[in-house]
Amino acid sequence: MADQTRIMVIEDSATQAMRLRLILEGNGFQVDCFGSAEAALETIGTAKPDLILVDFHLPGMRGDEFARHVRMTQATQAIPVLLLTDSPTPEIEQKGFDSGVDAYVAKSTDPDDFLLRIHALLRRSQGASAIAGGASIFHRARLLIADDSATYLEFLRLQLESEGYEITAVASGEDALARLDAQSFDCVVVDLIMPPPGGLEVCRYADRLRRERELSFPIIILTAHEEKDEMMRGFEAGADDFVGKSSDIAILKARIRALLRRKFLQEENQRMMGAFRDKEDQLQVARRDKDAAEARAALMNELERSYAELAQTNEKLKQTQGQLIQSAKMASLGELVAGIAHEINNPLAYVIANQATVAKIFGELRRAPGRDGEADRFDKAESRLSSMAEGLERIRDIVANLRTFSRLDEGVFKSVKVSESIDSVVRLLEHNCRGRIAIETDYAAEDELFCSPAVLNQVVMNILANAIDSIEGEGRIAIRTRVEDDMFAIAVTDSGGGIAPQIRDRIFEPFFTTKPVGSGTGLGLAIAYSIVEAHRGTIGLESEEGKGSTFTVRIPLDLESHIQDNVP
């Protein structure tokens, strides 16, 4: 037993702790030392000891307060607690027993006596047996007291009956043995010195009886002389405690209370274990019934899974079809835009060139002699020519933006200037922003990114268009680029109404939209998500209702090394 028994020592004196460790480890115990009750409480739940030695005088929480904490917790309340102190007084011993300790010993006690106390506590703790038949454990405690002194026996009877115990008092060891055979008791108190059979014989018989009948009553030996040899013989005979008759009667009462408390606690634990076993049996029956029900429902579950898989496949087909339609629309739009831009660009070049020639000739005519009286007409004509030049330049910028956006090489991966792509998208959507939405750009990252330019334009356009639609009235949109852990990040932040928490997980689903019917297909963000995923990137969302949203697109900077022959 000893080589497997763990003892927790709580002692603030390093010297005293080392002394106790040497004594205990020398007798085969495993010892864990702690300098405070608080430190011990932190570990007692995960590394539960078989017995606790605790000093009464500790910094912070005292030993009796620690014992009270141990008794308050179901997982630790059955652990035996032995209280140590430098100043053995009845008051301290009384406090210890009232708080839940099982035994008390002075630090100056001889090591052999100290070890006897420990072995007695461990024997009592490990000797608890099951309660047969599920009988109720709640009853008035029955005590057998044996003493050949009629005066002291009557004194004990009156004192213990005042504590609420049911007392059977006998004046000889022979009567005690007969009572033990005929009745059951919760505690036995026997005088050491009596005519044969004496206290030791009664103690041995009672100890053998409780082992044979699987009983758990404690045995206390009373003696007029607390000598070491007598104590050793008493503990060897099976006694659980040893009390001097010269001690205050309150000490005997407190020790009986402590022993009975442990007895009833052990019986309650055993009763609970029996109840747990009954519950486990019921659970086993329930599990068998459940298994049978699951077997009967196996075919139905398989049909339901097949139906779910079919529905999921159908949904994927619908999503793919929608994405293909949207991609076809974007491709057709790109070709149309590119064609229009090309057709506009050729005549535009002639008009711009001719406008410059006309402006030059008109200036020469104005400087010709005899034209001074027509100054107002010349001023007005020059103003109109300047306006024409400005308008033509704006048309040329729009055509350039259209060509940048359309990207006839949309299936090609190459390095692009991200700022130029974003600016082209911003200019195409500016007509929805003028007068109410300010768009700010901050290109903090390096401008070059290896990607598919056309699809990148599509991602930015979809996100930016949603940001514009989310703002009612005046607002602002910020577009920023930066590098984050080998990822190129494009963040679009708007001051719109934000996205409700309950729909944030659905915004990238195909066909999911919060816009009115006819105002959106619900494919914009779904396609953007697919494009970014094909670029081995991610789209993140941060949103707060009433304060706007931020979509962040992240694309690996080393994408080129991962691109294969197929185009996403």
Q: What is the CATH number of the domain that holds 59?
A: 3.40.50.2300
Residue with tokens 């539960």: 48
What pLDDT sits at residue 179? 94
Domain boundary among 76, 102, 126: 126
Same domain, 506 and 534: yes
Q: Does residue 54 lie in a domain region? A: yes
Query: Rounded CA gap, 66 and 490, in Å?
Result: 60
Q: Is there a single domain that holds both residue 147 and residue 258?
A: yes
Tokens standing for residue 489: 């990040």
Q: How far apart are CA 521 and CA 181, in angstroms?
A: 92
| Alpha helical stretches, state H, 191-297 | 199-212, 228-236, 249-296
∠ Cα 202 205 209 (to 5°): 135
Is 273 among the domain residues?
no
Q: Which of 203, 198, 197 is nearest to 220 (CA)?
A: 203
The total of structural domains in the chain comes to 4
Q: What is the pLDDT of residue 432?
A: 76
End-of-domain residue from the set 247, 266, 285: 266
Q: For position 528, which CATH number holds?
A: 3.30.565.10
The reply to whether 111 falls in a domain is: yes
Which pLDDT score, from 0 to 100, does residue 133 have?
38
Does residue 175 sit in the same domain as residue 212?
yes
Is residue 308 in a domain? no
Q: Is residue 433 domain-shared with residue 536, that is, in the same domain?
A: yes
Report the SS3 class of residue 31: strand
Q: 497 and 438: one domain? A: yes
Q: Do 427 and 345 belong to one domain?
A: no
426 and 534, same domain (yes or no): yes
What single-letter DSSP state applies at residue 271? Answer: H
- Contact by Cβ (8 Å): 36, 61: yes
**Same domain? 73 vs 116:** yes
Flag whether 417 is in a domain: yes
In a domain, 514, yes or no: yes
Boundary residue ending a domain (207, 241, 266): 266
Do 422 and 547 sit in the same domain of this protein? yes
Predicted pLDDT of residue 192? 92
Within 13 Å and on the Cβ side, how many CA atoms surround 279? 6
Asked if residue 144 lies in contact with residue 176, where contact means CB atoms within 8 angstroms, the answer is yes
Same structural domain, 475 and 497: yes
Q: Does 425 map to a domain?
A: yes
**Residue 218 and residue 95 share a domain:** no
Q: What pLDDT shows up at residue 103?
A: 83
Q: Between β-strands 103-106 and 81-85, what pairing exists: parallel, antiparallel or unpaired?
A: parallel
Q: Are residues 416 and 518 in the same domain?
A: yes
Residue 146, sorted as left (phi over 0), alpha (psi -120 to 50) or beta, turns out to be beta
Residue 449 resides in a domain: yes
CB of 144 within 8 A of CB of 188?
yes
Residue range of the domain that includes 326 = 315-406
CA distance 261 to 565: 81
Per-residue pLDDT of the chain (568 residues; tens, 9 = 90+): 445 789 999 999 999 999 999 999 999 999 999 998 888 887 886 778 999 999 988 888 888 888 888 877 777 888 899 988 876 677 777 777 778 888 888 888 888 888 988 988 888 766 554 333 334 444 578 999 999 999 999 999 999 988 878 899 999 999 999 999 999 999 999 999 999 999 999 999 999 999 998 888 999 999 887 778 888 888 899 998 888 888 888 888 888 888 887 787 777 677 777 767 777 777 787 778 777 777 777 888 887 887 888 888 887 777 666 656 655 555 565 566 667 766 777 777 767 777 777 777 877 776 777 666 677 777 777 777 777 777 777 677 666 656 555 554 455 678 888 888 888 888 878 877 877 888 899 988 777 888 877 767 878 888 888 888 888 888 999 999 998 888 899 999 998 888 888 887 777 776 667 666 555 555 667 777 777 887 888 888 898 888 899 999 998 888 877 765 444 4
